[in-house]
């Protein structure tokens, strides 16, 4: 946690920077702790425990800017650290756009607690944590003779942040997290040992789903047996909710000020234009209590607010921080989204599949990339062939290739099944006329 | 040097004034005189004594651990970057701490602290010790210095003595050169990243060493516009070197490379996808080895029986003209290690010799499991993580064909030589790599440029399908970073040009 001493140290560092040549400064002091227990075949394999803390200090010196961080939080050392940072920054070229945000944009406090820290955190006994991972393994062990290895994992941790900006921002944030998961390897065809897993996570221990994790992991791997390539061609693509974020990623990356300012975005100068199909409505909802990703301010201290990113396919906002806004001479928005919510439909995954005549259900991506300037993408995939509304042959070793703009314009259906434990709440998605390469 | 002095110089070093020991650079051989050894210097540097280390190791084994080690790290990282024509951004980080690892058979307990005091180290040792439950305390041997006899990265000009001002002109030159080379260039960003790590290690077997690890990279991103279309590409070089790494020739080579790699994209198309022969060009094509077999040969996956190669040791897995090496001994290579992160000498390991799978890549745990010496592949990202088997420089040795003859043998396929990233499923064997650019091969000739496609294959099948290997072996010295179990490690890869008779190429249908 952040103690009163930590806060005093951050304030001292800020004052010290200002006294020694900085015209402005921004400080982030953080501390965190984490624990994990990895079990292999129900037996302890690895236990890890640690806590750490450090400070990042942003120095604005005579129109120049540098960032310095250290985990040596001793005043005597920090004095030299800051002084030397100031001295080094003076070597740099000036950058008139490097300034702190206007103080009117800061979060001013007063809103209800987002309840991101579980008061129970310290009270859970390590033996109980290990027992949870053991119970996950027990759901799998001995359930199928093809099983070659079972991994189960429990982890938890806490993160604390304290931010101070010299033009009047002070903000504190904290979050706890818990996770429980499993990965199973089985003997497949030939020498192959396919594996798959399932994971649950939560901000509160009591909200962590603890049952059926092992069972789900085993189900997910067993259904893979007999994977093969199918014929290359255009298919309707159904993307499972667990991996749908992979396709949203490049779209979001294209909205950042840093990409736009460098002309390195396929969504440059597209504000107000229709990019996706009418099904695409995407919101940033930063203030949901007890939700991973919730926050009242971003890394600059700027207040977050609900935003519409896409509305019926039309691009409504970019994510532009103070620096890139000044550089591009546009109004800043927010440095990044907090919780992404893709407006859901009313069918579950099997409902979506039942309407597909000739398609591929993608359950996993394997490598691949997307060109940030053009939106051209190509990813390895695995999943299932869909024939006449039914999942049939398990498939692997295929690629899906296309262009992000064309892909999102061909979004025809959205599921009702986003994982609410994620800060990206993206349901299963259906796209038409997508190029797959296989045989 | 007393503790207070160290602390002061420790923070100064970030900007160029820490007096580092002369044995850390410029000399092949070091003094092994105990009173003046590198280990003694490092103990002073971290403010610990031999008695402290023995005490912490003893506590680490008190619950019945069979082995323990302590990994002290003090790393200085500096980044300076150029954007929009000005070198106007710098970032530096100091990282400092010690990791305590305890093994009980193949089980691992791990804890680390950032505040290196005896009290904190003992606390971490007690946490890690809990992995063992026999309560039969293990033994700790007397600590013995293990001097670095072969230094693969002796630096001429250490980064501690280099200021921002010294580095900045190289970025400016690189920027100017790139703009001069092509009128279509719109934006350039470039950066120099250097880091220096002081590592002190000791374990319950008594092995104690100090290693000085430099690293540097220079990278450039180029963005070009042609008739309203925008493309970008990236070029970089990275070595375990000091300031001597930066010179005008390097700037020239990198500028040409990034411009050529970006310009070709305007002519490139997406090919028609499907199964076809793929000629891997010399150099970065080593990504195929890294993904298709390298990870699957890491012995942790094999001792757990979850790799597709788990039953293949000493079996013929490919053409007898193929030999593949994982090497930590290439001077100044990004993947070079004098000694690994658990006290085993850096070495060159044949993983495939004349078509036979001859060795997995081992750390201490897997070496013990297989009853053989470790291959020195136990590496970790930092003191925050436990070591696991990792690659170093992974490459295929030269064959005897000419690249032209290999290309001429393909009537319809692709030639690829520029990559961004790859991935593998260890157990299923499916691996991929993303091709930033390459060419179609039509009737034995390179024709239409292609770009932005993923290639996917299956490890054992792809290896068996390598039918021709050229004599132009080459290591790619780019900024390769390998991820595994949440840990990143610097590596390199390399390959002569080679034909894989069948892989699945992404593209239009």
Rounded distance between C-alpha atoms, residue A248 and residue A375, angstroms: 12
Say what the pLDDT of residue B149 is: 87
Residue among A85, A264, A439 minimizing CB distance to B232: A264
A48 with B111: Cβ contact below 8 A: yes
pLDDT tens per residue, range B196-217: 999 999 999 999 999 999 999 9
Say what the pLDDT of residue A1 is: 87
Tell me if B337 sits within 8 A of B379, measured CB to CB. Answer: yes
Distance from CA of B213 to the nearest CA of A (A): 19
Nearest CA in chain A to B308: A192
- Of B410, B458, B465, B460, the closest CA to residue B438 belongs to B410
- Of A439, A432, A437, A253, the closest CA to residue A358 belongs to A432
Rounded distance between C-alpha atoms, residue A204 and residue A117, angstroms: 7
Rounded distance between C-alpha atoms, residue A177 and residue A191, angstroms: 38
Nearest CA in chain A to B509: A233
**Is the minimum CB–CB distance between A8 and chain B shorter than 8 Å?**
no
What is the per-residue burial (b if ≥16 Cβ within 10 Å, else e) of A88-99? bbebbeebebbb
Helix ranges (DSSP H) in B343-421: 364-370, 403-408
From the CB of residue A226, how many other CB atoms can be counted at a distance below 10 Å? 12
Place B135 in a pLDDT band, splitting at 50, 70 and 90: confident
pLDDT tens per residue, range B493-506: 999 999 999 999 99
Between positions 345 and 364 of A, the ones with CB within 8 A of B are: none
Residues 6+ apart with CB under 8 A from B487: B380, B381, B385, B388, B390
Helix ranges (DSSP H) in A301-423: 322-328, 349-354, 404-409
Residue among A52, A67, A262 minimizing CB distance to B189: A262
Q: What is the mean pLDDT of residues B284-310?
A: 92
Bridge pairing between strands B86-104 and A64-70: parallel
- What percent of chain B clears pLDDT 90, i.e. is strictly above it? 87
B87 with A92: Cβ contact below 8 A: yes
**How far, rounded to the nearest angstrom, does the alpha carbon of residue A177 sit from its chain's CA centroid?**
14
Give me the residues of chain A with pLDDT under 50, please: none
Rounded distance between C-alpha atoms, residue A411 and residue B107, angstroms: 48
Residue among B11, B111, B430 minimizing CB distance to A80: B11
Could you tell me if residue B75 is left (phi over 0), alpha (psi between -120 and 50 degrees) or otherwise beta?
beta
- Of A164, A370, A237, the closest CA to residue B232 belongs to A370
Q: Give helix B3-12 / helix A75-89 axis angle, nearest 10°.
A: 20
Residues 6+ apart with CB under 8 A from A109: none
pLDDT tens per residue, range A364-415: 999 999 999 999 999 999 999 999 999 999 999 999 999 999 999 999 999 9
Rounded distance between C-alpha atoms, residue B303 and residue A150, angstroms: 13
From the CB of residue B247, how many other CB atoms can be counted at a distance below 10 Å? 11
Helix ranges (DSSP H) in B264-402: 286-289, 299-303, 364-370
Mutate to test the interface with A, among B176, B306, B414, B416 (most CBs of A within 10 A): B306
Rounded distance between C-alpha atoms, residue B182 and residue B172, angstroms: 16
Mean pLDDT, all residues of chain B: 91
- What percent of chain A clears pLDDT 90, i.e. is strictly above it? 98
B231 with A373: Cβ contact below 8 A: yes
Rounded distance between C-alpha atoms, residue B151 and residue A294, angstroms: 50
Cα angle: B202, vertex B207, B213; to 5 degrees: 65
Distance from CA of A77 to the nearest CA of B (A): 6
Rounded distance between C-alpha atoms, residue A208 and residue A189, angstroms: 35
Q: Which residues of A touch B428 (CB under 8 A)?
A: 188, 192-195, 224, 227, 382, 396
Place B36 in a pLDDT band, splitting at 50, 70 and 90: low
A369 with B434: Cβ contact below 8 A: yes
B452 with A188: Cβ contact below 8 A: no
Strand, helix or coil at B445?
strand
Longest pairwise C-alpha distance within chain A: 73
Strand, helix or coil at B130?
coil
Bridge pairing between strands B144-145 and B445-458: unpaired
Beta bridge partners of B475: B494
Strand, helix or coil at A121?
helix
Say what the pLDDT of residue B445 is: 97
Residues 6+ apart with CB under 8 A from A3: none
- Of B344, B314, B385, B357, the closest CA to residue B111 belongs to B385
Write out the two tokens for A191: 């020498």
DSSP label of B160: G
Strand, helix or coil at A134?
helix
- Of B138, B154, B145, B148, the closest CA to residue B65 belongs to B138
Say what the pLDDT of residue B283 is: 96
Write out the two tokens for B223: 């963005």
> The tokens 């691009």 sit on which residue?
A315
* A&B contacts, CB < 8 Å: 290
Please give the model's pTM, rounded to 2 decimal places.
0.93
DSSP label of A123: G
Rounded distance between C-alpha atoms, residue A432 and residue A90, angstroms: 55
Q: Which residues of A touch B15 (CB under 8 A)?
A: 84-85, 87-88
Place B347 in a pLDDT band, splitting at 50, 70 and 90: very high
Tell me if A163 sits within 8 A of A190, measured CB to CB. Answer: no
Rounded distance between C-alpha atoms, residue B284 and residue B317, angstroms: 22
What dihedral do alpha carbons A85, A91, A92, A96 form, nearest 10°? 90
Bridge pairing between strands A43-61 and A24-40: antiparallel
Residues 6+ apart with CB under 8 A from A156: A34, A35, A36, A121, A124, A129, A176, A177, A178, A179, A205
pLDDT tens per residue, range A43-61: 999 999 989 999 999 999 9
Q: Is the pLDDT of residue B28 over 90?
A: no
Cα-based distances in Å from A71 to A14, A81, A174, B114: 16, 11, 19, 7
Residues 6+ apart with CB under 8 A from B224: B182, B184, B185, B186, B230, B231, B232, B262, B263, B266
**How far, rounded to the nearest angstrom, does the alpha carbon of residue B448 sit from its chain's CA centroid?**
34
Write out the two tokens for A237: 């693509």
Tell me if B109 sits within 8 A of B127, measured CB to CB. Answer: yes
Three-class DSSP labels, B208-241:
EEEEEEEEEEEEEEEEEEECCEEEEEEEEEEECC
Distance from CA of A434 to the nearest CA of B (A): 9
pLDDT tens per residue, range B234-286: 999 999 999 999 999 999 999 999 999 999 999 999 999 999 999 999 999 99
Mutate to test the interface with A, among B82, B311, B430 (most CBs of A within 10 A): B430
What dihedral do alpha carbons B284, B288, B289, B292 form, nearest 10°? 160
B427 with A195: Cβ contact below 8 A: yes
Q: Which residues of A touch B97 (CB under 8 A)?
A: 52, 71
Cα-based distances in Å from A371 to A8, A264, B185, B321, B359: 46, 9, 17, 37, 38
Could you tell me how many residues make up chain A? 439
Write out the two tokens for B47: 């403010």
Mutate to test the interface with B, among A56, A149, A232 (most CBs of B within 10 A): A232
**How far, rounded to the nearest angstrom, does the alpha carbon of residue B315 sit from its chain's CA centroid?**
28
**How far, rounded to the nearest angstrom, does the alpha carbon of residue A345 sit from its chain's CA centroid?**
23
């Amino acid at each position: 946690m952040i103690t009163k001493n930590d806060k005093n140290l951050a304030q001292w560092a800020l004052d010290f920077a200002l006294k020694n040549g900085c015209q402005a400064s921004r400080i982030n002091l953080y501390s965190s702790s984490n624990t994990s227990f990895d079990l292999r075949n129900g037996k302890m394999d690895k236990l890890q425990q640690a806590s750490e803390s450090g400070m990042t200090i942003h120095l604005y010196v005579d129109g120049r800017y540098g960032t310095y961080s250290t985990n040596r939080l001793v005043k005597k050392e920090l004095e030299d650290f800051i002084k030397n940072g100031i001295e080094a920054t003076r070597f740099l070229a000036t950058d008139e756009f490097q300034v702190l945000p206007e103080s009117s944009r800061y979060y001013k406090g007063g809103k209800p607690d987002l309840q991101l820290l579980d008061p129970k955190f310290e009270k859970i006994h390590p033996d109980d944590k290990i027992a949870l991972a053991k119970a996950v393994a027990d759901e799998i062990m001995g359930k199928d003779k093809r099983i070659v290895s079972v991994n189960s994992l429990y982890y938890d941790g806490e993160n604390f942040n304290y931010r101070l900006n010299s033009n009047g921002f002070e903000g504190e944030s904290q979050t706890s997290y818990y996770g429980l998961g499993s990965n199973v390897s089985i003997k497949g065809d030939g020498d192959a040992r396919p594996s798959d897993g399932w994971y649950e996570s939560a901000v509160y221990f009591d909200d962590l789903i603890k049952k059926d994790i092992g069972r789900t992991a085993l189900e997910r791997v067993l259904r893979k047996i007999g994977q093969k390539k199918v014929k290359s061609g255009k298919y309707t693509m159904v993307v499972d909710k667990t991996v749908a974020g992979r396709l949203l990623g490049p779209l979001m990356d294209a909205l950042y000020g840093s990409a736009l300012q460098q002309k390195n975005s396929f969504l440059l100068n597209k504000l107000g234009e229709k990019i996706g199909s009418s099904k695409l409505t995407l919101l940033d909802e930063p203030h949901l209590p007890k939700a991973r990703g919730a926050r009242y301010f971003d890394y600059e201290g700027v207040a977050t607010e609900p935003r519409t990113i896409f509305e019926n396919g039309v691009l409504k906002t970019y994510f532009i921080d103070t620096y890139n806004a000044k550089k591009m001479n546009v109004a800043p928005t927010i440095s990044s989204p907090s919780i992404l919510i893709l407006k859901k439909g009313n069918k579950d995954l099997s409902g979506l599949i039942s309407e597909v005549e000739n398609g591929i259900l993608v359950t996993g991506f394997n490598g691949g990339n997307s060109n940030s300037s053009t939106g051209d993408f190509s990813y390895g995939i695995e999943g299932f062939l869909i024939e006449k509304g039914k999942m049939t042959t398990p498939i692997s070793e295929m690629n899906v290739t296309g262009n992000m703009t064309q892909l999102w314009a061909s979004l025809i259906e959205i599921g009702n099944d986003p994982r609410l434990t994620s800060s990206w709440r993206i349901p299963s998605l259906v796209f038409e006329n997508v190029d797959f390469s296989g045989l | 040097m007393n503790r207070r002095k160290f602390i002061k110089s420790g923070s100064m070093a970030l900007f160029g004034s820490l007096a580092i020991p002369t044995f850390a650079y410029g000399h092949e051989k070091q003094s092994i005189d105990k009173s003046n050894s590198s280990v003694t210097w490092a103990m002073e540097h971290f403010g610990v004594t031999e008695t402290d280390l023995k005490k912490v190791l003893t506590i680490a084994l008190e619950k019945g651990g069979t082995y323990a080690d302590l990994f002290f790290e003090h790393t200085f990282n500096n980044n300076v970057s150029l954007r929009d024509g000005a070198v106007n951004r710098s970032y530096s980080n100091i990282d400092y701490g010690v990791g305590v690892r305890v093994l009980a058979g193949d089980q691992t307990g791990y804890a680390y602290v950032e505040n290196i005091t005896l009290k904190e180290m003992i606390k971490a040792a007690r946490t890690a010790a809990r992995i063992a439950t026999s309560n039969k305390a293990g033994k700790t041997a007397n600590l013995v210095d293990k001097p670095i006899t072969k230094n693969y990265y002796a630096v001429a000009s250490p980064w501690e003595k280099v200021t921002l001002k010294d580095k900045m002109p190289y970025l400016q030159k690189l920027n100017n050169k790139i703009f001069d080379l092509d009128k279509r260039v719109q934006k350039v960003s470039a950066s120099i990243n250097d880091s220096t790590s002081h590592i002190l290690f000791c374990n319950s077997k008594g092995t104690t060493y100090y290693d000085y690890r430099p690293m540097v990279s220079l990278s450039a991103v180029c963005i070009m516009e042609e008739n309203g279309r925008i493309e970008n590409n990236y070029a970089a070089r990275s070595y375990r070197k000091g300031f001597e790494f930066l010179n005008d020739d390097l700037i020239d080579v990198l500028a040409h490379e990034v411009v050529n790699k970006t310009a070709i994209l305007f002519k490139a198309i997406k090919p028609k996808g499907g199964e076809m022969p793929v000629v891997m060009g010399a150099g970065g094509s080593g990504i195929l080895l890294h993904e298709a077999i390298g990870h699957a040969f890491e012995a942790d996956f094999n001792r757990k029986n979850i790799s597709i190669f788990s039953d293949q040791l000493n079996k013929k897995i490919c053409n007898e003209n193929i030999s593949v090496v994982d090497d930590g001994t290439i001077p100044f290579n990004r993947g070079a290690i004098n000694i690994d992160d658990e006290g085993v000498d850096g070495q060159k390991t044949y993983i495939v010799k004349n078509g036979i799978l001859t060795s997995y890549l081992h750390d201490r745990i897997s070496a013990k499991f297989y009853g053989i010496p470790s291959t020195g592949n136990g590496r970790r990202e930092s003191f925050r993580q436990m070591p696991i088997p990792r690659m170093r420089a992974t490459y295929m040795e030269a064959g005897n064909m000419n690249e032209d003859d290999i290309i001429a043998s393909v009537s319809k396929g692709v030639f690829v030589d520029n990559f961004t990233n790859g991935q593998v499923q260890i157990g299923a064997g499916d691996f991929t790599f993303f091709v930033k650019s390459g060419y179609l091969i039509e009737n034995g000739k390179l024709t239409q440029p292609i770009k932005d496609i993923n290639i996917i294959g299956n490890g054992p099948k792809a290896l068996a399908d390598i039918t021709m290997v050229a004599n132009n072996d080459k290591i790619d010295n780019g900024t390769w970073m390998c991820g595994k179990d949440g840990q990143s490690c610097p590596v390199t890869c390399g390959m002569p040009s080679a034909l894989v008779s069948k892989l699945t190429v992404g593209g239009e249908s």
